[in-house]
Amino acid sequence: MSTQDTVISVAAALVQVALIVVGAPYLTGLMRQVRARIEGRAGPGVGQPVRDLRKLLHKEATRPEGTSVVFIAAPLILMASSIFLAAVIPFVSTVAAVGGVSDLFAVVAILLLGTVSLALAGLDTGTAFGGIGASREVTIIALVEPTILLAIFALSVRVGSSDLTDIVAGTLASPAQVLSPASLLAAVAFAVVIIAEAGRLPVDNPSTHLELTMVHEAMVLEYSGRDLAMVELAASMRLALLLGLGVNLFAPWGVATSLTPLALLLGVVMLIVKVALVGVALAVFEVFMAKLRLFRVPELLAGSLLFALLAVVASYFLT
Amino acid sequence: MSTAVSTQLLDVLSGAILLTAVLTLWRRDLASIIRLVTIQGVLIAGLALLLGVDEHSTELYLAALGVLILKAVILPTILRRVLRDSGEVRETAPLVNVTASLLAAAALTLLAYVLSGPLVALAPSAATRALPVGIAVVLLGFFMLVTRRRALSQVIGFLLLDNGITTTAFLATSGVPLVVELGVSLDVLLVVLVLQIVAARMRMAFGSTDLDGLNGLRD
């Protein structure tokens, strides 16, 4: 790779990061707005999460007495892992800036790192809610992580590489594979996983603080000011990351395969359009869903794990 | 039809057959389980039709028609009648809970894949490579037979078992002779009719079709 190419690919990675960091709150805002409109409310507007973040960033962060470095470090780790993932997952182009890092197992492990650090922070506060939230989150994550691994692994079988860039490039090269049984099953499993991992209905309700049901909100209850802003931003980013990863794995059209500026621009536009579409679809879906009883959640997740496993098996015996 | 298209259709059909079998384990609502079995019957008929088109065999067309009538019309009608008479709309307490059943289904599918490896190696083709689907459906049917309490769920487990055997037959040998197919189908029909009567008698005797009620003796 020549020096110029390296510069462009680094630039492409930076564009991805900027896009996710700036776009994620707007995605959350868009989803809330769509939901509000369907429910017959006026809604606060697409920019409301950004305004919230700006307000929180100007406020002092208080820390509960007796919390350790875990509590302070968790938002930073969550944020850092999200930014790292935004740089390495092939969102805009399949030419990786940092080769070999976008491996499926590395990406899922780093995704898990953020979740676990937040769960530990929830435990660190020593409050009842923090503990409840952490325990619920870990219950969910125990089934979610293997499902993500298996679902993407099903796609990686036919490419013969566990590198996400190779998987996306492989699907781009032969689009007919999108309709294979393995790919469809994996898509269903991945959709359930996105909903669970990002804490959306019917697994978790992101808009309530009801102690019977909350998962993510219970863990971050003690955060305030700058720290809360970071946690909120990271949560939006993770939703955007997962949706972006999902659309690029199962419908990678528009992703740049070369490093020409025009292709990159097309990649950026297509990513925004696709993620916005999927986000709106998810918001519409949520309007019609009721929160699942917490004890029924493992059932849903076991189902999605089974789908992912069937996808892997099918990718072996159904060509 | 070109080979690539028919292979893809075959894959989609087999995948869907496996999926419906798994979903019957997931759902608790007996009406939707019956719907899934109906869909599975249609899919198996579609599979037979596809193989018939591939091999230009009239016998397979007839088999497809027979499968469609029996598995997608007659049997579901009988099951729906049993359901309506029994008034039990849900499988309330399976012996193994749904989460564990789903994980077991995953293990059984893997087992089917391992078991059918040597069979596929005998004559590799697009149809035989999908053979694990048939065997997995057989195993899932067995599993449902063993773990469900309601008589209706057990009948559905039995049907799943039969659907698996039919699928395996179609995939492995492109259909058994029509006479054999007819005989097996009549057998299944008869079994389901007998089970319907048994379920009705049980309901009269015990007030429910929970088969555990048959374990103990009483005066």
pLDDT one-digit tens code per residue, A266-304 = 888 888 999 999 999 988 888 887 777 777 788 888 888
Report yes or no: B129 and A318 within 8 Å, Cβ to Cβ: yes
In chain A, domain spans:
3-317
Average pLDDT for B112-141: 85
Interval A185-212: pLDDT, tens: 888 888 888 888 877 777 777 777 776 7
Tokens 């899934």, residue located:
B36
Q: Is the pLDDT of residue B126 over 80?
A: no
Q: What is the dihedral of CA A85, A88, A89, A95, to 10 degrees?
A: 170
Smallest Cα–Cα separation from B120: which of B108, B110, B132?
Answer: B132
Q: Is the pLDDT assigned to residue B42 strictly greater than 90?
A: yes
Q: How close A315 gets to chain B, by Cα (Å)?
A: 10
Q: What is the ipTM of this complex?
A: 0.73
pLDDT band at A22 (very low <50, low <70, confident <90, very high): very high
Cα gap B7→A312, rounded to integer Å: 18
Residue A318 touches chain B, beta carbons under 8 Å: yes
Structure confidence at residue B119 (pLDDT) = 82
A180 pLDDT more than 80? no
Residue B212: is its pLDDT beyond 70?
no
Q: Which of A108-122, B48-62, B66-80, B179-193 has the lowest mean pLDDT?
A: B179-193
Query: What is the distance in angstroms between the Cα of A174 and the nearest Cα belonging to chain B?
Result: 14
Q: Count of CB atoms within 10 A of residue A22's CB? A: 10
For residue range A230-254, what is the model confidence (pLDDT) as tens digits? 999 999 999 999 999 988 888 888 7
Kindly determine whether residue A309 and residue B126, on different chains, have CB atoms separated by under 8 Å: no
Mean pLDDT confidence for B133-141: 91
d(CA A151, CA B111): 19
- Cα distance between residue A291 and residue A34, in whole Å: 18
Q: Which of A168-177, A180-189, A208-217, B22-31 is the least confident region?
A: A208-217
Q: For residue A299, which residues of chain B lie inside 8 Å, CB to CB?
A: 26, 98-99, 102
pLDDT band at A259 (very low <50, low <70, confident <90, very high): confident
Task: Identify the residue whose tokens are 């949560």.
Answer: A235
Least Cα distance to A222 among A115, A119, A130, A118 occurs for A130
Q: What is the mean pLDDT of residues B5-32?
A: 85
Quote the percentage of chain A above a pLDDT of 70: 95
CB nearest A302 (choices: B7, B99, B110): B99
Helix (H) or strand (E) holding A244: helix A225-250
Over residues A157-167, mean pLDDT: 83
What does the alpha-carbon distance between residue B179 and residue A110 come to, in Å, rounded to a whole number? 59
Rounded to an integer, the average pLDDT of A113-119 is 91
Q: What is the pLDDT of residues A205-225, one digit of tens each?
A: 777 777 677 778 888 888 888
Share of chain B above pLDDT 90, in %: 8
Q: What is the DSSP letter of B74?
A: I
Q: What is the pLDDT of residue A165?
A: 83
Residue A55 has a pLDDT of 92
Task: List the structure tokens of B164.
Answer: 């698996």
By Cβ distance, the residue of B99, B109, B131 closest to A309 is: B109
From the list A181, A184, A305, the residue facing B106 with the nearest CB is: A305
Cα gap A155→B8, rounded to integer Å: 16
- Note the pLDDT of residue A319: 55
The 3-state DSSP class for residue A42 equals coil
Residue B139 pLDDT: 93
Rounded to whole angstroms, the Cα distance separating A22 from A86 reads 12
- pLDDT attached to residue A54: 92
Dihedral, CA atoms, A275, A276, A281, A282, nearest 10 degrees? 70
Residue appearing with tokens 């189902």: A303
Which region among A43-47, A76-80, B91-95, B161-165 has the lowest average model confidence (pLDDT)? Answer: B91-95
Chain A, residues 256-315, CB within 8 A of chain B, namely 298-299, 302-303, 305-306, 309-310, 313-314
CA–CA–CA angle A28, A34, A40 (5° rounding): 135
Identify the closest residue of chain B to A313 by CA–CA distance.
B110
Report d(CA A111, CA A81) in Å as an integer. 7
Q: Where are the domains of chain B?
A: 3-214
CB A307 within 8 A of CB A188: yes
Residue type, A61: A
DSSP A53-82: HHHHHTSPPP--TT--HHHHHHHHHHHHHH
**Can you give the pLDDT at residue A174?**
79
Report the run of H or E that residue A188 belongs to, with start and end: helix A181-197
Which pLDDT does position B52 carry in this prediction?
85
For residue B97, report the phi and psi dihedrals to the nearest 5 degrees.
-70, 165
pLDDT tens, position by position, B50-95: 888 888 888 888 888 888 888 888 888 888 888 887 776 776 677 7
Q: What is the pLDDT of residue A276?
A: 93
